[in-house]
Amino acid sequence: MSQPAPRAFRPKIHFTAPSMWLNDPNGLCYENGKYHLYYQHYPDDTVWGPMHWGHAVSGDLLHWEHCPIAMYPDELGMIFSGSAVIDEENVSGFGTDGKTPMVIFYTSHGDKERQSMAYSLDGGMTFTRYPGNPILENPGINDYRDPKVFRNPVKGGFSMVVSAFDRAMIYHSTDLKHWEKTGEFGPVAEFAGERYLWECPDLFPLKTETGEKWVFLLSVVYPENIGIHRTCYFIGQFDGDTFIREPGAPMELLDGGPDFYAGSTYWGTPQRLFIAWEAAPSYAGALPTGEYCGQMTLARTLTLKSTPAGDKVASKPVGIEKALDGADLGGETLPGECFVLRVCGEGEGSVTLYNQEGEQVVFGVDSSNHFYVDRSRSTVLSISETYERQVNQYVSLPRFEQGAWQIDGVFDISSLELFGDQGTRCLTNLLFPKQPYTSCKTQGNVQVFFGDLSE
């Protein structure tokens, strides 16, 4: 169990479990005005352990109501990450008395990893396991997990993408229970020659000006000596069986910040909504947060934006638009510990948020036209060896644009999410200053606007 927290780090508008450990978002779906957020949860300690699915619901993706734990480990193993489908046509046949089943897909992590399913007829509060589990046996691969199910617009029915060590396997079904393999994506050249582990794949279409393209999302464990975890995306097409990468389109990072992993998108929303675990798995268990450990990013809308470097996925945080649009030109004093910021700059320039203890975080655009964030002096607390190593890394992403720039951001006690150039370049960070940052200064041709979010 962790030590008491040196101060209250629990964010105001980012989701945390009531207590104990949390990792990946799971089973993201929208039904009857409610956004469901299930999550990897270990209710008996503040570090990773036998995985359950915790559960919360929200009407606006900012205010969450905690619900009872939805899934407990069973004879097939722990309940690893997965997804949800609202089975409106009742193709599964689980619906009785006219009730629409919510069907969830997850990995049973026992002596092997296999895919299983369960369904709920009470709005996602309690689940019945499918007696025919597992629905996909292990194909002889240790790491075989994180089923994400989506509608197949080409063949009808549903497809499922599952990560399988260094690639993804794709399956098709018409009744959600029987699955047939239709394709594979990967391995990819970017991760050749090393042991890169693929996790939490997702596959979905986004509109372009003339049609649509498909995006393949992947959370990747880089080799231990690099020790960083990232969520990447590829752009291409889905032919109904498999994902085909667009020739020449480079792999990109959905967010290049240090604390961003294992995200997934919602079922059942008109816009493509996404939430990630706001964490770096390598030090996620050593955070100084006391009775809870782990938080989610804000929900983000994903769209495709055309840039001079081609189509890129753009992320926009949900629910703070009004605060951003009404943001006022800021002075030296920060509006509090929960606020939005809009930074407009041209050329090399930076913003520093700091306090009298000498703790500070700096971000902006550097002399090579990269967005960057420097957390190296963000805290005087000693957190863990891995944290210390990573916190000293200079984190940056080349811009896709030239000229004037804008960064929108959300600061929430221990979290700073930054969205550069309309969200095509994002940097998400956890910060644990011993004392709150109170002040702001800028360098270069930069203006900062603040909007209070504490109400």
- Report the residue number, 220 or 446, with the smaller CB distance to ligand FRU: 220
- Nearest approach in angstroms of CB 136 to ligand FRU is 14
Say whether the peptide bond before residue 11 is cis (omega within 30 degrees of 0): no
Residue 272 near residue 206 (C-beta atoms within 8 A):
yes
For the question of residue 421 being annotated catalytic, the response is no
Active-site hit among 24, 311, 408, 421? 24
- Nearest approach in angstroms of CB 89 to ligand FRU is 28
Torsion-angle region of 140 (φ positive above 0: left; ψ -120 to 50: alpha; else: beta): left
Nearest to 191 by CA among 215, 170, 227, 166: 166
- Report the residue number, 160 or 200, with the smaller CB distance to ligand FRU: 200
Residue 189 near residue 211 (C-beta atoms within 8 A):
no
Nearest to 396 by CA among 425, 417, 431, 361: 425
Q: Is 242 in the site for ligand FRU (CB under 6 A)?
A: no
* Distance, CA of 449 to CA of 113 (rounded, Å): 49
Show the binding pattern over residues 14-33: x = contacts ligand FRU (CB under 6 A), - = does not: ---------xx---------
- Report the residue number, 146 or 278, with the smaller CB distance to ligand FRU: 146
From the list 9, 21, 27, 40, which residue makes contact with ligand FRU (rule: CB under 6 A)? 40
From the list 81, 120, 350, 415, which residue makes contact with ligand FRU (rule: CB under 6 A)? 81
Distances (CA, A) of 444 to 108, 375, 408: 53, 19, 17
- Report the residue number, 162 or 426, with the smaller CB distance to ligand FRU: 162
Three-class secondary structure of residue 31 per DSSP: strand
> Edge-to-edge strands of the sheet including 78-86?
78-86, 102-109, 113-120, 128-129
- Report the residue number, 127 or 261, with the smaller CB distance to ligand FRU: 261
Tell the residue number behind the tokens 């959300």, with chain if given.
Answer: 410
Nearest to 274 by CA among 303, 252, 295, 305: 303
Q: Is 107 in the site for ligand FRU (CB under 6 A)?
A: yes
From the list 21, 39, 80, 371, which residue makes contact with ligand FRU (rule: CB under 6 A)? 80
Q: Is 262 in the site for ligand FRU (CB under 6 A)?
A: yes
Site size for ligand FRU, by CB under 6 A? 13
> What's the token pair of residue 363?
């971000």
Q: Is 282 in the site for ligand FRU (CB under 6 A)?
A: no
> Edge-to-edge strands of the sheet including 180-185?
144-151, 158-164, 167-173, 180-185
- Report the residue number, 38 or 80, with the smaller CB distance to ligand FRU: 80
- Report the residue number, 47 or 249, with the smaller CB distance to ligand FRU: 47
Q: Is 252 in the site for ligand FRU (CB under 6 A)?
A: no
Q: Is 114 in the site for ligand FRU (CB under 6 A)?
A: no
Show the binding pattern over residues 344-363: x = contacts ligand FRU (CB under 6 A), - = does not: --------------------
Q: Is 51 in the site for ligand FRU (CB under 6 A)?
A: yes
In the chain, what is the straight-line distance between the N-terminal and C-terminal CA atoms, in Å?
33
Contact residues for 157 (Cβ-Cβ < 8 A; gap 6+)? 91, 151, 172, 173, 174
- Report the residue number, 51 or 407, with the smaller CB distance to ligand FRU: 51
- Nearest approach in angstroms of CB 296 to ligand FRU is 13
> What's the token pair of residue 212?
């649509």
- Nearest approach in angstroms of CB 261 to ligand FRU is 6
Tell the residue number behind the tokens 């260094």, with chain if given.
Answer: 166
Residue 197 near residue 191 (C-beta atoms within 8 A):
no
Q: Is 146 in the site for ligand FRU (CB under 6 A)?
A: yes
The interface with ligand FRU within residues 152-211 (CB under 6 A) comprises 199-200
Q: Is 424 in the site for ligand FRU (CB under 6 A)?
A: no
**Residue numbers at the binding site for ligand FRU (CB under 6 A):** 23-24, 40, 51, 80-81, 107, 145-146, 199-200, 262, 281
Task: Tell me which residues are annotated as active site.
Answer: 24
